[in-house]
Amino acid sequence: MLTFTMYEIKLTKPARKAYLKLPDNIRSAIYFKLSILAEAPFAKYNDVKRLQGMDKCYRLRIGRWRVIYKLYNESFMIEVIKIAHRKEVYR
């Protein structure tokens, strides 16, 4: 028997606010990448990097946009902390 576990994605209030302000084409690209991430968070093709100095934090790259998130393996949850343009995301 094969069992597949899909991670639940939750957005923090600032991340949700930033997501809703984005243009439709960028919002749909981010939605698509997050859905892929929820199915396979450790796949090599996701373009994900672990952030230094932050525990359990990762960066997902979508063109010029970045999604900063925390990964909780024990509860199968991905918490999106920040969504911003690459110039602003690390400030």
Provide the CATH number for the domain around residue 77.
Answer: 3.30.2310.20
Mean pLDDT of 28-49: 90
The pTM is what?
0.89
Per DSSP, the three-state class of 40 is coil
Q: Is the pLDDT of residue 13 over 70?
A: yes
Q: Is the pLDDT of residue 19 over 70?
A: yes
- Residue 62: which domain range? 8-85
Q: Is the pLDDT of residue 5 over 80?
A: no
Q: Is residue 91 part of a domain?
A: no
Question: What are the backbone dihedrals phi and psi of residue 7, each rounded to the nearest 5 degrees, phi first?
Answer: -75, 145
Q: Is residue 3 part of a domain?
A: no
Residue 89 tokens read as: 């995301």
Q: Is residue 23 part of a domain?
A: yes
Structural domains of the chain, count: 1
Using pLDDT thresholds of 50, 70 and 90, give the confidence band for residue 4.
low
Residue 3 tokens read as: 């069992």
Question: What are the backbone dihedrals phi and psi of residue 5, each rounded to the nearest 5 degrees, phi first?
Answer: -110, 125
CA dihedral 69, 10, 42, 32 (to 10 degrees): -100
